[in-house]
């Protein structure tokens, strides 16, 4: 019996390694042989008359599906325009935050337009086009005592943050003198601010701006804090033609004021018009 | 009375969309059941053979599918096959493949367990009575096996239906994804929509799985 057990384990691990080897080999070939590429070129997309664009289907107001089953939002607005200018149909693919890179690497979508933040790690796996939006941190506080700067922070005042967010790490690193009040979730942090437990609340600026707009009596005193992160479309690594086309398109659309139009159409309801400059790329 | 978000279900085409999502989930599980059950029965019968190679091969297959989380299998077949072989499977096809592999493995193990559960004296007695191999299975083993298997396999069907909630990760828009879409689309208009929508999802899963469970109970009582 023992002998069989050993043989079993051996065969199993051999089988597994064979399987992984099978997955690995073609991936290596890709870089050298062009015909093994995973993506579709610009001409292939035009020829097929369909472009596959990965968007969120549950991130209002960037990409979501309305009650009639139609894709809507800022990313979708941009995606439709891409389809129009390429003279192709847009096939929206519902992606999750966790599988966006995988979709590009396997060429199952041509472009990801899912509120994709540009980071160094991601740039090693996919190619980012020019940014069409930017996000940073923001601070919201009650109207009675609006916090406009963090430099003259009163001792004894506490800042509300959600544990594990970029706001927390940023404040610990750059403003160690500010004592933090940490909460586990959006809902508890919101309650804490409403109960006056802290002087202000630091979070992603899209979140605090939306919060101040929906809840009376609060003002975003600091709409941008810390480093600006860019949101950009991404294509499969090496898909130069499509990337260049997208970059040219973004430049043209920028000049034409398309993104401001898009902001007005899709984001103004959530963020109001006054913060357009904080969220748009100049 | 607080707004429980039931009203968003009746906005636009939300309810038909949710039902469509349920159908997507049911379609994939039913196709998988239809394919995997006969395969599972065949493999389960093979597993009772004394041949060590057949046994080892079956064991490896079974353990592999069981140890791997279904999510990993879904990624392997949806993205992995594109990377390795350049196949462009749709999310639905990949789901059906994974569910067939999984269902076959589970079903074959149920069948194997069922077949070896018969005491040896049944085989010996029928031999003593002069029944041939075919007659033994036809009159003694299979009728009993079917009785024992039906409740177990019906249970497997409901498990498969529930596991379809994972396929949203490979881009298949099924009931849970539609629910999330509805909740998010109404984030500002009705922030409590999550409760009502998930309640509706609960009822829809229930309506789909309950008759199947009832059938299992009925058959268990009838043949038990």
DSSP-assigned letters across all residues of A239-264: -HHHHHHHHHHHHHHHHHTHHHHHII
**Strands A63-65 and A58-59, how do they pair?**
antiparallel
Residues of A engaging B, defined by a Cβ cutoff of 8 Å: 4, 7-8, 11-12, 15-16, 22-23, 25-27, 36, 38, 57-60, 64-69, 72, 93-96, 98-99, 102-103, 105-108, 210, 214, 269-270
Residue A133 predicted with pLDDT over 50: yes
Backbone angles phi, psi at A97, to 5 degrees: -55, -35
Of residues A18 and A138, which shows the higher confidence score? A138
Nearest to B185 among A65, A102, A106 (CB): A65
So what's the pLDDT on residue B3? Answer: 66
B1 is a domain residue: no
Residue with tokens 């519902």: A94
B37 C-beta neighbours (distance < 10 Å), count: 21
Backbone angles phi, psi at A137, to 5 degrees: -95, 165
Name the minimum distance, in Å, from the CA of B19 to any CA of chain A.
13
CB pairs under 8 A between A and B: 99
Q: Three-state SS for A237?
A: coil
B58 is a domain residue: yes
Name the minimum distance, in Å, from the CA of B217 to any CA of chain A.
38
Closest C-alpha to A58, from B169, B208, B26, B2: B169
Residue B192 predicted with pLDDT over 80: no
pLDDT interval class at B215 (50, 70, 90):
confident
So what's the pLDDT on residue A32? Answer: 40
Of residues B108 and A270, which shows the higher confidence score? B108
- A167's CB contacts (< 8 A; 6+ apart) are A137, A161, A202, A203, A204
Nearest to B180 among A4, A36, A58 (CB): A58
- Alpha carbon separation from B174 to A159, A182, A273, B131 (Å, rounded): 41, 36, 36, 51
Name the minimum distance, in Å, from the CA of B89 to any CA of chain A.
9
Helices (H) and strands (E) in chain B, counts: 10, 0
The CATH number of the domain holding residue B174 is 1.10.3720.10
Of residues B196 and A30, which shows the higher confidence score? B196
Give the DSSP letter of residue A88: S
pLDDT interval class at A51 (50, 70, 90):
very high
Q: Do A60 and B56 touch (CB under 8 A)?
A: no
Please state which CATH class domain A135-228 belongs to: alpha beta
Quickly list DSSP for B70-132. HHHHHHIIIIIHHHHH-----HHHHHHHHHHHHHHHHHHHHHHHHHHTS-HHHHHHHHHTT--
What's the mean pLDDT when you consider all of chain B? 90
Q: Which residues of B touch A22 (CB under 8 A)?
A: 84
Which chain A residue shows the shortest CA-CA distance from B84? Answer: A23
Cβ(A76)–Cβ(A18) below 8 Å:
no
- Burial state string for B84-104 with b = 16 or more CB within 10 A and e = fewer than 16: beeeebebbbbbbbbbbbbbb
CA–CA dist B170, B103 (Å, integer): 19
Total domains in the fold of chain B: 1
pLDDT interval class at A36 (50, 70, 90):
low
Residue B133 predicted with pLDDT over 70: yes
pLDDT interval class at A188 (50, 70, 90):
confident
Closest C-alpha to B156, from B20, B72, B32: B32
pLDDT interval class at A259 (50, 70, 90):
very high
CA–CA dist B202, B196 (Å, integer): 10
Say what the pTM is.
0.79
Cβ(B33)–Cβ(B160) below 8 Å:
yes
Residue A18 predicted with pLDDT over 60: no
B91 is a domain residue: yes
Q: Can you name the residues that pair with B112 across neighbouring β-strands?
A: none
Closest C-alpha to B6, from B207, B14, B205: B14
Say if residue B222 is exposed, middle or buried (CB neighbours under 10 Å; 0-12, 13-18, 19+): exposed
Residue A29 predicted with pLDDT over 50: no
**CB-based contact, B65 to chain A, within 8 Å:** no
Q: What are B18-50's pLDDT values in tens digits?
A: 999 999 999 999 999 999 999 999 999 888 888
Instruction: Give residue limits of the domains in chain A.
Output: 35-132+232-279, 135-228
CA–CA dist B217, B211 (Å, integer): 10
B2 is a domain residue: no
Asked if A35-132+232-279 and A135-228 have one fold, the answer is yes
B207 C-beta neighbours (distance < 10 Å), count: 10
Q: Which of A10-14, A269-273, B220-224 has the lowest mean pLDDT?
A: A10-14
So what's the pLDDT on residue B18? Answer: 94
Closest C-alpha to B141, from B153, B132, B152: B132
pLDDT interval class at A185 (50, 70, 90):
confident
Residue B85 predicted with pLDDT over 60: yes
So what's the pLDDT on residue A25? Answer: 43
Q: Do B14 and A67 touch (CB under 8 A)?
A: yes
So what's the pLDDT on residue A7? Answer: 56
Q: Do A94 and B59 touch (CB under 8 A)?
A: no
So what's the pLDDT on residue A199? Answer: 93
Please state which CATH class domain A35-132+232-279 belongs to: alpha beta
Say if residue A189 is exposed, middle or buried (CB neighbours under 10 Å; 0-12, 13-18, 19+): buried
Closest C-alpha to A217, from A158, A130, A140: A140
Residue to test with chain B: of A28, A34, A62, A66, most B Cβ within 10 A? A66
Tokens of B132: 């041939």
pLDDT interval class at A33 (50, 70, 90):
very low
Q: Which residues of A touch B86 (CB under 8 A)?
A: 26, 36
Residue B92 predicted with pLDDT over 70: yes
Of residues B189 and A93, which shows the higher confidence score? A93
Name the minimum distance, in Å, from the CA of A70 to any CA of chain B.
10
Residue B100 predicted with pLDDT over 60: yes
Cβ(A198)–Cβ(A158) below 8 Å:
yes
So what's the pLDDT on residue A251? Answer: 95
Q: What are A208-250's pLDDT values in tens digits?
A: 998 898 888 999 999 999 888 899 999 999 999 999 999 999 9
Cβ(A180)–Cβ(A197) below 8 Å:
no
Residue range(s) defining the domain that contains residue B173: 7-223
CA–CA dist A8, A79 (Å, integer): 52
So what's the pLDDT on residue B188? Answer: 73
ipTM over cut 0.90: no
Q: Which residues of B touch A67 (CB under 8 A)?
A: 8, 11-14, 182, 185
Cβ(A85)–Cβ(A105) below 8 Å:
no
Q: What are B150-171's pLDDT values in tens digits?
A: 888 998 999 999 999 999 999 9
Nearest to A58 among B56, B170, B181 (CB): B181
- A38's CB contacts (< 8 A; 6+ apart) are A30, A105, A106, A107, A236, B82, B83
CA–CA dist A125, B126 (Å, integer): 66
- A266's CB contacts (< 8 A; 6+ apart) are A61, A72, A73, A74, A76, A77
So what's the pLDDT on residue A30? Answer: 42
So what's the pLDDT on residue A164? Answer: 85
């Amino acid at each position: 019996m023992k002998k069989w057990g050993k043989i079993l384990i051996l065969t199993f691990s051999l089988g597994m390694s064979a399987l992984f080897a099978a997955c690995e080999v073609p991936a290596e070939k890709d870089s050298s042989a062009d015909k093994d590429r995973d993506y579709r070129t610009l001409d292939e997309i035009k020829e097929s008359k369909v472009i596959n664009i990965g968007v969120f289907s549950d991130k209002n107001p960037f990409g979501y599906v309305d009650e009639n089953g139609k894709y809507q939002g800022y990313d979708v607005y941009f995606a439709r325009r891409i389809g129009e200018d390429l003279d192709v149909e847009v096939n929206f693919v519902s992606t999750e935050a966790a599988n966006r890179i995988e979709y590009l690497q396997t060429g199952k979508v041509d472009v990801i337009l899912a509120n994709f933040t540009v980071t160094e790690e991601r740039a090693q796996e996919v190619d980012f086009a020019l940014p069409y939006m930017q996000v940073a941190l923001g601070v919201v506080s009650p109207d009675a005592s609006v916090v406009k700067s963090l430099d003259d922070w009163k001792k004894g005042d506490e800042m509300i943050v959600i544990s594990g967010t970029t706001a927390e790490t940023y404040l610990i690193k750059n403003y160690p003198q500010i004592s933090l009040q940490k909460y586990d979730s959006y809902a508890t942090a919101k309650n804490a601010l409403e109960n006056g437990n802290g002087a202000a609340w630091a979070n992603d600026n899209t979140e605090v701006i939306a919060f101040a707009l929906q809840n009376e009596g609060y003002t975003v005193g600091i709409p941008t804090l810390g480093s600006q992160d860019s949101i950009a479309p991404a294509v499969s690594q090496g898909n130069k033609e499509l990337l260049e086309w997208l970059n040219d398109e973004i430049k043209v659309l920028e000049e034409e004021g398309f993104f401001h139009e898009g902001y007005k159409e899709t984001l103004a309801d959530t963020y109001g018009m006054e913060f357009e400059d904080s969220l748009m790329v100049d | 009375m607080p707004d429980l978000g039931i009203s968003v279900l009746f906005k636009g085409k939300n309810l038909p969309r949710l039902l469509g999502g349920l159908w997507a989930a049911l379609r994939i599980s039913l196709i998988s059941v239809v394919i995997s059950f006969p395969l599972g029965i065949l493999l389960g019968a093979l597993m009772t053979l004394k041949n060590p190679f057949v046994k080892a091969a079956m064991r490896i297959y079974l353990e592999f599918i069981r140890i791997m989380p279904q999510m990993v299998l879904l990624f392997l077949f949806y993205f992995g096959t594109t990377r390795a072989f350049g196949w462009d499977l749709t999310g639905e096809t990949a789901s059906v493949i994974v569910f067939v592999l999984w269902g076959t493995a589970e079903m074959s193990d149920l069948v194997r367990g069922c077949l070896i559960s018969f005491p040896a004296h049944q085989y010996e007695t029928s031999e003593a009575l002069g029944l041939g191999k075919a007659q033994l299975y036809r009159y003694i083993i299979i009728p009993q096996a079917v009785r024992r298997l039906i409740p177990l396999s019906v249970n497997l069907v409901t498990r498969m239906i529930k596991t379809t909630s994972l396929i949203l990760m490979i881009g298949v828009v099924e009931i849970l994804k539609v629910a999330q879409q509805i909740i998010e689309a109404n984030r500002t208009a009705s922030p409590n929509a999550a409760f009502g929508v998930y309640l509706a999802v609960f009822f829809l899963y229930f309506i789909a799985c309950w008759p199947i469970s009832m059938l299992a109970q009925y058959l268990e009582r009838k043949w038990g």
